[in-house]
Structure formats: structure tokens, C-alpha cells
Amino acid sequence: MGSLVACVFILSIATLSSCTTGVPQVPCYFIFGDSLYDNGNNNHLVTEAKANFPPYGIDYSDGPTGRFSNGRNIADVIAELLGFEKSIPPYASASREDIIRGVNYASGSAGIRDESGQHMGGRISLNQQLANHATIILQLADLIGNGNLAPVRKHLHKCIYTVAMGNNDFINNYFYPQYYKTSSLYTPQEYADILVQQYTQQLLKLYEYGARKFAISGAGYSGCAPAMMARYESDVCVDEVNGAVVLFNAGLTSALVELESKLSGAKFVYIEPPLGYSTDFNVTDKPCCNVSTTIGEGQCAPNQAPCSARQNYVFWDAFHPTESVSLVDGASAYAALSPFYVSEVKLSLPVDDA
């Protein structure tokens, strides 16, 4: 038995404090994803999908880091709740010793499909994120295995892996016919099926690399993002987009059940993206920052002051949530991860007293 750390934390919109003992509930946490999880991997790529300039990071201790948020993103919140003292480092700048507790491979505009997001420039697709993970495994063999993979494999079995992909396969692929032809080749159901099929192969590869504790997020209901509503010149959520996402998430859910039944020793948790938030978030259809009309799409214009009542906004820019929303989403993801850690944690969620 590992040492059991009992700790109590109170979660509120503004504060998040977890165990201070410095012993995380799992030894390592690996992150695969897109801009919702990216913490700096795109900074040195030639792409419009970047967030390493103000006002991004206005509420983050290190300022703008490449996180597509005013503050912490979901990955930061999950890592914090798991008891990690520091956030999981980005692949782009992780130090040699850092990699033992995990690596964040996430990249803004990246997708399950290699071409997703390509009109914005460079990105690290899920296939490339898996290739980067293979590189890290070799480094771990040197670091903790004396050049051998067996002890590394044992270590990798104990880690949590969150994978959150699919958003850009819709936003920056299927629903962008100016740049991508998938919507003329496939019906939404066919597209959902081929995405799920490819995703399943990618998760299988991650299993072969030693992952056992998987938490997979469904694609977000991006039809409600202000940038998608603007693209469709709609005042309300775009049903066509959300309907396609529903098909994908349904297919993904069954694929995960099947993967779990086939793969010995593996557990897959599915995390359903939220469709709404507490009424404290009373600005749901407008971004908090001034969105650029020249860089990318839906991103904050550099160096302009954002809204001050950030705790009331769902969206920070026209695609990405505020830190306040990530605190809520991160807490529910952490709760969904509970089969993967032993703890005496008492979680008190914010009460919606509407």
C-alpha cells in the first residue's frame, strides 16, 4: 500500500486548495488534447493557434504561458486536485526529471485527424502526440530503467491518462468547408464513425505504450461557442454542430466500453462535456476579452484589457472557457477519475442556490 494521504479541500469559484503534503494521489499524469489542455506546446510553432501574449494569462501566476485561458486550464485543475504541487509540464519544455510525473502533449488546433487545424498552421496532431510520448518513454528508460523498458512499463501502468480530442475535427475541419472537404465526403454519422474508428486505434496504441487508467473526454458542444455562433451568424447554439458532436460522443462511449472489455487490465472512464453551468455564469454567449479580427479565429486581440467580471463569464475568448469554468469542469473530471486513485478526499462542490 502506498501512503494514504487524507486531506480535505474546499472548492469554490475563487479558491482551490488541495493537500499540501506534496504526495499526489497517483505518481504520474499524462495529458493528450487540444487547446483546452495546451499549456505551451504551440508557443514555438508557426501557427495562428497561439495564446502566449496578454491578455491571456492575466490571472495566471506566470502570466501568458500559451494557455488559452485567463488563468488555469482544465489540466492544471485536475493536476492540482490530484495533489501535484506544480502543473504537468508541456512536452515542448519539460525538463529531464520532470517527465517522471508526466507530460502534457496537448496542442491548440490539433485533432484526431492529422489535417484538422492545418489552415491555422503548425499543430501537434494526436498521432504526433503519441509519437512524442514514445520519445518520452525512451527517455524514461534511461532515467529510471537503466536503459530497460520493463521498469518503465510498470511505472506507466500507474499513471492517469486524460485524452480530450475531437473538438478541432469539427470546428477546424468538418464545419469549415472553405478549407476542408470532409463534409462533402461524409454524412455526420459517417464522419462520427470514422473519427471514432481512428480514435480507437490511437487509444489502442496508448495502451500498447503502457497506459491502463484512461479518462476520455467527449468532444465539447462547440455549437454554443460564440465563435461558432458568429461563423453561422446565429444568436443561439448551432444545432447542426452540436448534433454532429452528439453522434461522435455516442459512438465514442460504446467504443470505450468495447475497448475496456478487450484490453486486459485497462479501465476507461468517459467524461461527458457539460452543456450548461450554474447561474453564477450569467454571460454565456459573449467572450470576456476583445476578440481579434486578424489573428486566427475567436482569439483575444493582443494587449487589450478584458472584462473585469471574469467570474460571470463562461467564455474567456470566443472558443475557450474562463478559469472559473475550468475550475468547475476540472472538478467534475477529477470526480470522474475516482476509480483511479485512493483518497479520503471530501469534495464540496459549489452549490447552485438559484
Ligand X SMILES: *[C@@H]1O[C@H](CO)[C@@H](O)[C@H](O)[C@H]1NC(C)=O
Point out the residues that are catalytic. 35, 317, 320
- What's the min distance (Å) between Cβ of 11 and ligand X? 19
Cβ nearer to ligand X, comparing 1 with 354: 354
Q: Which of the residues 302 through 331 are near ligand X (CB under 6 A)?
A: 304-305, 312
Nearer residue to ligand X within complex by CB, 211 or 300:
300
On whether the CB atoms of residues 108 and 48 are closer than 8 A, the answer is no
The site for ligand X, by CB under 6 A, has a size of 6
The Cα-based distances of 15 to 23, 176, 323 in angstroms read 20, 38, 11
Cell numbers found for residue 278 = 450554474
Shortest separation between residue 304's beta carbon and ligand X, angstroms: 4
SS3 215: strand
Cβ 130 vs Cβ 210: under 8 Å: no
40, 90 Cβ separation under 8 angstroms? yes
- Give, as one character, the DSSP assignment of residue 115: T
Region of residue 57 (phi > 0: left; psi between -120 and 50: alpha; otherwise: beta): left
The DSSP bridge partners found for residue 115 are: none
Alpha-carbon gap, residue 60 to 82, rounded angstroms: 19
CB of 321 to ligand X, least distance (A): 17
C-beta closer to ligand X: residue 97 or 353: 353
Helix (H, G, I), strand (E, B) or coil at 150: helix
Query: Dihedral of CA 121/127/133/137: which sign?
Result: negative
Q: How far is the CB of 309 from ligand X (least distance, A)?
A: 7
Q: Looking at beta carbons only, is 311 or 332 nearer to ligand X?
A: 311
| CA dist list (Å): 153 to 87, 110, 204 | 23, 27, 15
| Residue with smaller CB distance to ligand X, 184 or 293 | 293
In the complex, the smallest distance separating the C-beta of residue 310 from ligand X, rounded to whole angstroms, is 12
Tell which positions 186-245 bind ligand X, by CB under 6 A.
none
The pairing of strands 267-271 and 213-217 is parallel
135 binds ligand X (CB under 6 A): no
Q: Give how far the C-alpha of residue 260 lies from the chain's centroid of Cα atoms, to the nearest Å.
A: 21
Cell numbers for 138: 525512451
Helical segments of 209-238, H only: 226-231
The C-alpha cell at 85 is: 504541487
Contact 334, 345 (CB under 8 A): no
Nearer to ligand X, 248 or 313 (CB): 313
Binding mask 277-306 for ligand X (x = CB under 6 A): -----xx------x-------------xx-
Residue 225 CB, nearest approach to ligand X (Å): 18
Query: In the bound complex, what is the minimum distance in angstroms from residue 303's beta carbon to ligand X?
Result: 8
Phi then psi for residue 30, to 5 deg, are -110, 140
Place of cell 495546451: 38
* Closer Cβ to ligand X, 246 or 283, answer by number: 283
Question: Which residues in this chain contact ligand X in the complex, by CB under 6 A?
Answer: 282-283, 290, 304-305, 312
